[in-house]
Structure 1
């Protein structure tokens, strides 16, 4: 396919672009910045620029088959609340609207684990958490929730449109793993996302599988590694940090507490990378 990736110069975006190209797709990276020659500079808050870029860009393409929307202010607290809200919600609306106007029926967007209730100052209703948990606690996560709600309505308006929202956990590259063993000293250091993470290569796998499995309508999936960031067992962590929270099913010794069962079942997603392989744990 010919695929637009927004935010293809970011941490996850770089790996997604590389993975899709290795799979034989033609990829156009739309971003605000990036290495010259590898990116088309577009302000995604400008609807005219977005629609123009989706419809065609001179020698780059004359229309696309799919869009992967990753561009965003990537976390809470990096900009003011108003700036985060304005940039992220408007960008997503412009991308989805451009897809509709240009007749692109296959869209994958980056949602976030933050909609699950991070930083879990209020404990989750149950563990592991899954897609049924939605409790945004920051402006950033509120916007991600609203983006999902926007998608739900747009696919209702256009029954042929497919939008898949991937609730990515904290994205890691291999060089990040050297810091993981230090987390064991204090369980509260990483309790904010139930000790979760996802390798960027597995995040890219999820994008690829979501594109391949796309069907009309809206779906959302939690995307995380198969394990936690901790060497300490899950039962010990949950008992210490979240006593009294309902445990649904088996915790496993180090199994992710951000449930990826739906992604496994419906997308065929299976994480291949773990920090334990990188540091010998």
Structure 2
């Protein structure tokens, strides 16, 4: 496919661009920062709708249109900027990308939603463990509120256009191999990483999920939790849940280190199959 990918200079974006290109796709990185030597980089302010639709439609000798859009560009976490700046940047960027794709007749969109919509940092107990996509979103920050609103916008756009496919990938905390050396430190305090139920996503597996969301795209909106199959901890998942969330119902027998961010839907509908674990790399 020919793919316009926003935020390709970010942590997940860099890996996704490399992965998709290695899989044979043509990928253009729309971002505010990038390497001039990379002919796939197109300097773009994602909050400027005119720039976005122009960059996706075609740029001089770079490309003359795309088959799909991947939207990763955003302020990537709470607390990196004032709330008003986070709301303005992320909401405008996502609207610009979705609207541009719609106007250009592009029917396949995959984008970065976030595990934060599940209720992170879980100061209020989750409704059950493992969490999944079946309960209403619970934004607890401006960042996650925007992710909630983006998902609602995506649903409505798919209602307007029954042929449009938008996949919201609720990525867990993105990690690359050099991050894994500090994972053993997490064992000293089971509550230090309870804020996302001890989850993570290897950027390479995140890139896999992006490609599979595009290849399996079906009309309509779907949200998927994208996390690795294990936790960041050496302790068993069952013991962590029992100690830190004693009043929360555990709906299944948890494997020794099984993720508590339910990925069954992504496995079933996308064919998502995490290949990497910090246990192999640390």
Give the Å deviation of 1:140.
0.2
Q: Secondary structure at the match of 2:125?
A: coil
Determine the C-alpha separation between the residues in 2 that align with 1:104 and 1:246: 42
Q: Pick from 220, 226, 230 the counterpart of residue 227 of structure 1.
A: 230
Give the Å deviation of 1:251.
1.6
Find the counterpart in structure 2 of residue 36 from structure 1. Answer: 36
Determine the C-alpha separation between the residues in 1 that align with 2:166 and 2:28: 19
Determine the C-alpha separation between the residues in 1 that align with 2:253 and 2:83: 38
Find the counterpart in structure 1 of residue 123 from structure 2. Answer: 121
Q: Secondary structure at the match of 2:113?
A: strand
Determine the C-alpha separation between the residues in 2 that align with 1:234 and 1:19: 31
Find the counterpart in structure 1 of residue 88 from structure 2. Answer: 86
Q: Secondary structure at the match of 1:220?
A: strand
Determine the C-alpha separation between the residues in 2 that align with 1:34 and 1:50: 16
Count of paired positions: 279
Find the counterpart in structure 1 of residue 4 from structure 2. Answer: 4
Determine the C-alpha separation between the residues in 1 that align with 2:207 and 2:69: 14
- CA offsets 1:17-53 (integer angstroms, 9 cap, x no match): 0011001111000001012232211001011101111
Determine the C-alpha separation between the residues in 2 that align with 1:226 and 1:238: 16
Find the counterpart in structure 2 of residue 69 from structure 1. Answer: 71
Moved over 6 A (4+): none
Q: Secondary structure at the match of 1:57?
A: coil
1:189 aligns with 2:187: no
TM-score, L = length of structure 2: 0.98
Q: Secondary structure at the match of 1:97?
A: helix
Greater shift after overlay, 222-231 or 235-244?
A: 235-244
Find the counterpart in structure 2 of residue 165 from structure 1. Answer: 168
Determine the C-alpha separation between the residues in 2 that align with 1:119 and 1:37: 40
Give the Å deviation of 1:14.
0.5
TM-score, L = length of structure 1: 0.98
Determine the C-alpha separation between the residues in 2 that align with 1:37 and 1:138: 38
Find the counterpart in structure 2 of residue 138 from structure 1. Answer: 141
- CA offsets 1:206-230 (integer angstroms, 9 cap, x no match): 0010000001111110000000000
1:261 aligns with 2:264: yes
Find the counterpart in structure 2 of residue 46 from structure 1. Answer: 48
Q: CA RMSD in A?
A: 0.7
Q: Pick from 205, 210, 218 the counterpart of residue 207 of structure 1.
A: 210
Determine the C-alpha separation between the residues in 2 that align with 1:275 and 1:154: 38
Find the counterpart in structure 1 of residue 97 from structure 2. Answer: 95
Determine the C-alpha separation between the residues in 2 that align with 1:36 and 1:254: 43
Find the counterpart in structure 1 of residue 273 from structure 2. Answer: 270
Find the counterpart in structure 2 of residue 19 from structure 1. Answer: 19
Find the counterpart in structure 1 of residue 113 from structure 2. Answer: 111
Q: Structure 2: which 5+ residue stretches go unaligned?
A: none
Q: Secondary structure at the match of 1:187?
A: coil
Determine the C-alpha separation between the residues in 1 that align with 2:108 and 2:225: 19
Determine the C-alpha separation between the residues in 2 that align with 1:106 and 1:74: 22
Q: Secondary structure at the match of 1:114?
A: helix
Q: Secondary structure at the match of 1:246?
A: coil
- CA offsets 1:210-257 (integer angstroms, 9 cap, x no match): 000001111110000000000011121111111110111112111000
1:152 aligns with 2:158: no
Q: Secondary structure at the match of 2:149?
A: helix
Determine the C-alpha separation between the residues in 1 that align with 2:281 and 2:220: 38
